[in-house]
Amino acid sequence: MSRLDSFIRRLEAQRACLGRAAEQIERVPGAVLELGLGNGRTYDHLREILPDRDIYVCERHVDAHPDCTPPADLLLLGDMFDTLPAALSLKGRVALAHFDAGSGDAAANRDLAAGLRPLILPLLCAGAVLASQEPMDGAGLEPLPLPDGIRPGRYYLYRRV
Amino acid sequence: MSRLDSFIRRLEAQRACLGRAAEQIERVPGAVLELGLGNGRTYDHLREILPDRDIYVCERHVDAHPDCTPPADLLLLGDMFDTLPAALSLKGRVALAHFDAGSGDAAANRDLAAGLRPLILPLLCAGAVLASQEPMDGAGLEPLPLPDGIRPGRYYLYRRV
């Protein structure tokens, strides 16, 4: 499979998993947390599928398309290892968190996911869903089945228990 | 449609158009010319669908995944406005050229395509196919129908006449 094929599959998996996550939290009130803005493509998609939710966004330096820049009061600007522990008002209030490191360095992405996991967990309310490009298995997170057609390991869905 | 949806459709259109272009040049001997390497995703795809062709690549600074770095003798390193006119050995020898500016600035992409058009045209052999994210209509290039399901304007295919 070419890198183009693989990239398309990853984006399709991301879209399908976010769609599934949005369905799963239909009866779970709370905010959305996008861990990394990047060019704002996924943020824009979250806005579209979850128009009535507050979508908080972590980002070190905002460099997204102007249309995809979050409002200042929903932006956690800085290093996530600083901003997540300081986001006390979000504690137990997040119904959906999404993490996609977006770098091509698989080992670095896994390390980042492992480091962020204990910072994300306290923000999630009971029944919240975490969608992640990297595995975040462990206590407090129950793996959810992936949408049809998505190969296990291409994306991950968890429910906060 | 969200930016994620739109991006996936553009990549799918690119893949479908490259596949169609590869079929169209089955009986047209000649090299492939990738106008811009970027991260090497499309180059990798071209290598996969056209394994027996020499694939020349234009790039200012190579910053692709190491697996997707072209061999030095097929690399036209520098500004395309310098390297294409100097590529005398490719004159009339290219059977498939692909251009995807890859920037989010639509006006700049169109200007770049218009500027490159007269530099690409002399490199194409009779019957060659040009696949482009931007329109390159005009003398010497006959528009080809797009693969099924690809919206007109999302990608462009031309035959050198």
pLDDT given at position B105: 80
CA–CA gap between residue A34 and residue A48 (Å, rounded):
14
pLDDT band at A101 (very low <50, low <70, confident <90, very high): confident
B126 pLDDT more than 90: yes
Q: Are the C-beta atoms of A133 and A109 separated by less than 8 Å?
A: yes
Contact between A2 and B40 using a beta-carbon 8 Å cutoff: no
As a whole-number percent, the residues of chain A with pLDDT over 70 amount to 100
pLDDT given at position B146: 97
Residues 6-65 of A with CB under 8 A from B: 7-8, 11-12, 14-15, 39-42, 44-45, 47-49, 65
Paired tokens of A156: 């991950």
Residue B8 CB contacts under 8 Å (≥ 6 apart), including other chains:
A8, A11, A12, A15
The C-alpha angle with vertex A115 and arms to A110 and A117, in degrees rounded to 5, equals 95
The C-alpha of A2 sits at a distance from chain B's nearest C-alpha, in angstroms, of: 5
B20 pLDDT more than 80: yes
Q: Are the C-beta atoms of A160 and A129 separated by less than 8 Å?
A: yes
Contact between B3 and A104 using a beta-carbon 8 Å cutoff: no
* Closest Cβ opposite residue A8 in set B3, B11, B49: B11
A102 pLDDT more than 80: no
pLDDT band at A103 (very low <50, low <70, confident <90, very high): confident
Contact between A5 and B15 using a beta-carbon 8 Å cutoff: yes
pLDDT, average across residues B75-82: 96
pLDDT, average across residues B93-103: 91
pLDDT given at position A105: 80
Average predicted confidence (pLDDT) for chain B? 95
B58: Cα within 13 Å, side-chain hemisphere: 24
- ipTM confidence score: 0.92
pLDDT band at B66 (very low <50, low <70, confident <90, very high): confident
